[in-house]
Structure 1
Amino acid sequence: MSVNKLRLGPLPKTENLKVTFTCPAGLKADLERYAALHAQAYGEEVDALTLIPHMLEAFMARDRVFRRATTG
């Protein structure tokens, strides 16, 4: 499987705030697998918790209804 085309690209450096959430065990396992593929694709180790905010940000950026509602 080619991993150089993951939807989530290299991670930018950002200021972070801590947020805690609960997710199903299957989702956590998927996040860990995605983190492993991301590390393989971009040559930088990353854990699942680091990926979550970037995935949410990408999801929200692509949600047209949300974008229209928040841009006036």
Structure 2
Amino acid sequence: MVKLKLGPVIDDKPVKVTVELPAGLHRNMTPYGEILGCTAGQGAVEPVHLIMPILEPFLAMDRGFGGHG
């Protein structure tokens, strides 16, 4: 079994954001979402649903930012 850093993706009330990802990043996020969903028993997670859970810990751990919000 693969051990990913990202845990299960929680479906929270979204805020609409438009973002353009480089094609290579999207290509990497697609299989990551498939593996994550499989290990969490929830089916493939679409790349768009990975953005928030990846960014939240990044912001929380950035000591220069201080976890505002």
TM-based fold match above 0.5: yes
Kindly indicate which of the two structures has a greater share of residues assigned to helix: 1
Q: CA RMSD in A?
A: 1.7
Q: Which protein is bigger by CA-based radius of gyration?
A: 1
Q: State the shift of 1:13 in Å.
A: 3.3
Q: Secondary structure at the match of 1:21?
A: coil
Using structure 1 for the length normalisation, give the TM-score.
0.80
Unaligned runs of 5+ in 1: none
Q: CA deviation at 1:63?
A: 1.2
Runs of 4+ aligned structure 1 residues displaced above 6 Å come to: none
- TM-score w.r.t. length of structure 2: 0.83
Count of residue pairs the alignment pairs up = 68
Aligned residues: percent identity? 37
